[in-house]
Amino acid sequence: MNFNYPKWLVFQVTQRCNLRCKMCYEWGESGSYFEKPELMDLDIQAAKKVIEELAQHNPYYELFGGEPLMYQHIEELLMTFKKYDCKVDIPTNGTLLKKYAKTMVDNQVRRIWVSIDGPEEFNDNQRGHGVYQKAVEGLNEIYRIREEQGSTYPLLGVTMVVTPYNYKTIYSFFTEEIDYTLLDNISVEFQLYITEARYNKCLTFMEEEFSQSSFLGASGLVRELADFKDIDIDELMGQVLKLRNFCEEKNINMIGYPKTMEKENLMHFYQGEWDEMKDKRNKCSFPWIYMEVSANGDVSPCHTFYEMKVGNIYEQGIMDIWKGERFQEFRKKLRNKVSPVCCACSRYYSDL
Ligand SMILES: C[S@@+](CC[C@H](N)C(=O)[O-])C[C@H]1O[C@@H](n2cnc3c(N)ncnc32)[C@H](O)[C@@H]1O
Ligand code: SF4
Ligand code: SF4
């Protein structure tokens, strides 16, 4: 593989969010964003400069938040992607989806991932009253416009975050509650978390490797093991495996994590024994293929863990950062190991 340029770039376009989903490590009950002194939106001119600079390399883009559709320059950004024929994915809580449905089809966004955490009652308990209806209306609207225009894109997906509260609804939600015929993709993602003990290890790692005394990105993930103790693992596994069969039958692409749906593996996951899991990794390829630009312009090589800063797009060109000394140093440090927070990173469970 050619590592001379990033294959995948995430723009955190805004840190703001209009929801307070209970399990969210950013804006949830113990989310780290409550501690942020100031909430930022990405500078649109700087973002455009990055897209222009990388145009010849054609990386895959993803937007992130907070809630990406709250970004004040979302339309201008999507038009810029279209201008350079860029492929882009957008995850969203769905509340503003209807408003931007036409813009997304017109600008040929590749994939939209709407976060819905189960049937209406369950979703709204976890994500907020009235959110389910808005998300479903948004999905319907994009589907309608896409069909009307005879367009392939955006492909539509639903992401469900599995928690102790909603796990028994996985199968019925996708097969009976939501109109699965609208969907190209389904992602079933277990709520990621770390224990207090693991968090302390993360702090030590940050201090030793990067001489940094705080790790806000990890603090929002801390949960008690007791929160998960009532999960019936057989039931949970059964739900996911049944859904896998259903998706195969209906030709819907299904992804998610953890990867290994085996009882012992899931028991380790819920007992905070990540290093015993079959999914355990000793190395992550993301720092060699990926970069993430946060709303204040900082660039990090890792998803969500914005403190691992290797540059800032308001001060340097994106390729200078990609090839820069700080990025190289970071890669050197993670050449043969992962950090203690990686077990709570979605990328840890990917195939890359
Ligand atoms: C942080 S949100 C940002 C995008 C947008 N606001 C949304 O909700 O889709 C990205 C994804 O992370 C999921 N998420 C939030 N907290 C999580 C957790 N503790 N573990 C796993 N996924 C989580 C959300 O449900 C959503 O699918
Ligand atoms: S909408 Fe997304 S960012 Fe906002 S609280 Fe929910 S999961 Fe977190
Ligand atoms: S798994 Fe670890 S190294 Fe890989 S992207 Fe996530 S935080 Fe970074």
**Alpha carbon of residue 226 to chain centroid:** 25
Note the pLDDT tens digit of each residue in 261-270: 999 999 999 9
Q: Which domains does the chain have, with CATH numbers?
A: 8-349 (3.20.20.70)
Q: What is the mean pLDDT of residues 189-204?
A: 97
What pLDDT, on the 0 to 100 scale, is given for residue 86? 98
Kindly state the percentage of the chain with pLDDT values over 70: 99
- Does any ligand 3 atom lie closer than 6 A to the CB of residue 302? yes
Q: What is the mean pLDDT of residues 171-181?
A: 98
> Is 117 in contact with 92 (CB distance < 8 Å)?
no
Q: Tokens for 97?
A: 């989806």
Q: If you take atom 8 of ligand 1, which residue's CA is the nearest one?
A: 93
Residue 63, pLDDT > 70, answer: yes
- Does any ligand 3 atom lie closer than 6 A to the CB of residue 131? no
Identify the band that residue 187 occupies on the pLDDT scale cut at 50, 70 and 90: very high
Residue 115, pLDDT > 70, answer: yes
- Does any ligand 2 atom lie closer than 6 A to the CB of residue 31? no
Q: What's the CA-to-centroid distance between 336 and ligand 2, angstroms?
A: 33
Substitution candidate for ligand 1 out of 21, 100, 114 with most atoms within 8 A of CB: 21
Residue 64, pLDDT > 80, answer: yes
Identify the band that residue 238 occupies on the pLDDT scale cut at 50, 70 and 90: very high
Q: If you take atom 24 of ligand 1, which residue's CA is the nearest one?
A: 115
- Does any ligand 1 atom lie closer than 6 A to the CB of residue 258? no
Q: What's the CA-to-centroid distance between 2 and ligand 1, angstroms?
A: 31
Note the pLDDT tens digit of each residue in 310-340: 999 999 999 999 999 999 999 999 999 999 9
CA distance to 33, 76, 86, 120, 313, per residue, from 45 (Å): 25, 10, 17, 39, 10
Could you give the CA distance from residue 35 to residue 75 in angstroms, rounded to a whole number?
29
Identify the band that residue 1 occupies on the pLDDT scale cut at 50, 70 and 90: low
Q: Tokens for 335?
A: 């050449």
Residue 2, pLDDT > 80, answer: no
Name the more confident of 304 and 122.
122
What pLDDT, on the 0 to 100 scale, is given for residue 3? 82
Substitution candidate for ligand 3 out of 10, 283, 339, 350 with most atoms within 8 A of CB: 339
Q: What's the CA-to-centroid distance between 36 and ligand 2, angstroms?
A: 15
Note the pLDDT tens digit of each residue in 22-51: 999 999 988 999 988 899 999 999 999 999
User: H/E element holding 254?
Assistant: strand 253-257
Note the pLDDT tens digit of each residue in 210-219: 888 888 889 9
Residue 227, pLDDT > 90, answer: yes
What pLDDT, on the 0 to 100 scale, is given for residue 351? 82
Q: What is the mean pLDDT of residues 151-180?
A: 98
- Does any ligand 3 atom lie closer than 6 A to the CB of residue 284? yes
Q: What's the CA-to-centroid distance between 4 and ligand 2, angstroms?
A: 33
What pLDDT, on the 0 to 100 scale, is given for residue 36? 87
Helices (H), the chain: 44-54, 74-83, 97-106, 120-127, 131-148, 170-172, 196-210, 216-219, 233-250, 263-270, 286-289, 318-323, 325-333
